[in-house]
Amino acid sequence: MATMDVPEPPWSLHLPEGQEPGDLDLTTGGTLVHRWVDLWARRPEREVLHDPDRGWITGEVLERESGDKARSLAAMGVGSGERVLLGGSAGVDLVTAHVACLRLGAVVVPTNPAYREAELAHLIGDAEPVLALTDDPRTVARFGAAAPSLRVEPLHLGGEPHGPAVELDAVGPGSPALIGYTSGTTGRPKGAVLSHGNLLAGVNSLRVAWRWTSEDRLVLALPLFHMHGLGVGLHGTLAAGASAVLLPRFDPEAVLDAVAAHEATMFFGVPTMYNRLVESARAGLLGRLRLVVSGSAPLPAAMHRRIEELTGQRVVERYGMTETIMLASNPVDGDRRAGTVGVALPGVDLRLEEGTDEVLVRGPNVFGGYWRRPDADAEAFESGWFRTGDVGSFDENGYLTLVGRAKELIITGGYNVYPREVEDVLRSFPGVSEVAVVGIPSEEWGEEVCAHIVTEAGAHVDHGELREYAAARLAPYKVPRHYRPTEALPRNALGKIQKHRLT
């Protein structure tokens, strides 16, 4: 509970010395693309992004390639407000396609290349994209199977621009920029619509809190289809006028190579990445960095200590969500407390709901609502505050500890799995009568997905076949690693399954 000792607002803890809360302007730059384009015009020769295929790419090249792609998209008939599915591994080509969509005013729907046909079919049916962009042949085939009439183009969009001149960078802060799909209790993922203003406020807050400047260089091995890699890593780099080394996939040795070879200053990762990094004989290289950040899932206090012992780094743990970008962070200058997610970020208001202790949030970074889901909005917002579904407690200095979840969510390796979506798939397998999916503790993944299965009378369910069935319909990280047969699921007097009794 907040007490008199907590500075007002609590996030003033994040401000550099001399900056007053009243000086904070999270709208600096107007919109995300305005800010980026302005920086590229002012420092065209500056190296911004590196990938293994293209080497270093300057601001001038980013501006030109994204502009050319935006014109190609317009020539293909993509208009402002229309949705474009984007998928692929992190690299300059994916980034320029993403930036092109935003500069045109199209709405990006990031997709995980691991999504199966059924998952894509839902996304496509819901978002109604006019186009999909990807270079991944598996994804192309799955798009084709999920929606045969959907136009799919490669990320380079045909190279040279074609089509008439078109106005770029014209969207305002209120226009939708991104739809991030996230599940929930319904089992069917819903789209969180983030505006250009939300995305800008989100990164401006982090620029202040993390002292993110043009001198910084991030090693970015996170996928670019979730908030962590995209809304924080990529957008933050571009908005800070900084640079990033993009790695197409996470590999601890490749991360450490990049740290050494490119004189990096920052690394952001999920706890599973740190589990693997500390196993490297060269983990000490992380000690060269200015800032090491963990998020998306809880970082165990023991891992926090282990990283410090090996590298001298006190990791900055922070807390975020698709719908809100980042909410809280441990301070860069100040006490970094293991086991807490720190203090509300600049411009972000956090409080706990009385009675339930659910974390509620309000701020310019918080999305406006779900795509075509007024029913979900009505549940998610309470008098202008967004319900995070996380349960927390504040200490006397405003540090937040997440103590549980009001929502049913499993986080495995930083990816979110909503049990309902998995249960729906498993229940459709012949012979299965009831299913309850829970997360069980795992040192490597944080949690692992576990399915408790009740079979129909007289039926036999082969767990290997069930796993294969699930793997054909769900992205690999959602597929249960454990199958536990049971006679009956534990239920309370009202018939509700008591998942906390399942292990």
- Please give the structure tokens belonging to residue 105: 């005013």
338-359: string of b/e by CB count within 10 Å (b at 16+)?
Answer: bebbbbbbbbbbbbbeeeebbb
228 binds ligand MLC (CB under 6 A): yes
319 binds ligand AMP (CB under 6 A): yes
Angle at 224 between CA 220 and CA 230, to 5 degrees: 80
CB proximity list for 397: less than 8 A, separation 6 or greater: 5, 6, 10, 13, 335, 343
User: Among 129-137, 256-264, 294-302, 481-489, which window interacts with ligand AMP (CB under 6 A)?
Assistant: 294-302
Q: What is the dihedral of CA 270, 300, 315, 272, to 10 degrees?
A: -20
Cβ atoms of 402 and 300 closer than 8 Å = no
Cβ atoms of 306 and 276 closer than 8 Å = no
State how far the Cα of 446 lies from the Cα of 300, in Å rounded to an integer: 9
State how far the Cα of 87 lies from the Cα of 97, in Å rounded to an integer: 10
| Residue 192 dihedral angles phi and psi, to the nearest 5° | -90, 120
Q: What is the DSSP pairing of strand 131-134 with strand 152-153? A: parallel
Q: Write each residue from 319 to 358 as x if it is in contact with ligand MLC (CB under 6 A), else as -, in one continuous string.
A: -xx-------------------------------------
Nearer to ligand AMP, 212 or 418 (CB): 418
> Binding to ligand AMP (CB under 6 A): which residues in 205-244?
227
223 binds ligand MLC (CB under 6 A): yes
CB proximity list for 333: less than 8 A, separation 6 or greater: 16, 17, 211
> Binding to ligand MLC (CB under 6 A): which residues in 307-326?
320-321
State how far the Cα of 424 lies from the Cα of 125, in Å rounded to an integer: 18
Among 206, 220, 227, 240, binds ligand MLC (CB under 6 A): 227
Interaction partner, residue 85 (ligand MLC, ligand AMP, none; CB < 5-8 Å by kind):
none
139 binds ligand MLC (CB under 6 A): no
Alpha carbon separation from 221 to 9, 27, 74, 233, 429 (Å, rounded): 34, 28, 31, 9, 36
Among 114, 388, 417, 450, binds ligand AMP (CB under 6 A): 388
State how far the Cα of 172 lies from the Cα of 40, in Å rounded to an integer: 19
Q: Write each residue from 391 to 410 as x if it is in contact with ligand AMP (CB under 6 A), else as -, in one continuous string.
A: -----------x--x---x-
413 binds ligand MLC (CB under 6 A): yes
446 binds ligand AMP (CB under 6 A): no
Q: How many residues make contact with ligand AMP (CB under 6 A)?
A: 20
Among 68, 216, 317, 447, binds ligand AMP (CB under 6 A): 317
What is the widest separation between alpha-carbon atoms in the chain?
Answer: 73
252 binds ligand AMP (CB under 6 A): no
101 binds ligand AMP (CB under 6 A): no
Interaction partner, residue 182 (ligand AMP, ligand MLC, none; CB < 5-8 Å by kind):
ligand AMP
Plot region of 159 (φ>0 → left; ψ -120 to 50 → alpha; else → beta): left
Interaction partner, residue 390 (ligand AMP, ligand MLC, none; CB < 5-8 Å by kind):
ligand AMP
116 binds ligand MLC (CB under 6 A): no
Please report how close the Cβ of residue 183 comes to ligand AMP at its closest, in angstroms: 8
416 binds ligand AMP (CB under 6 A): yes
Residues at the interface with ligand MLC (CB under 6 A): 222-223, 226-229, 250, 270, 272-273, 295-296, 320-321, 412-415, 445, 476-477
Residues at the interface with ligand AMP (CB under 6 A): 182, 227, 295-298, 317, 319-322, 341, 388-390, 402, 405, 409, 411, 416
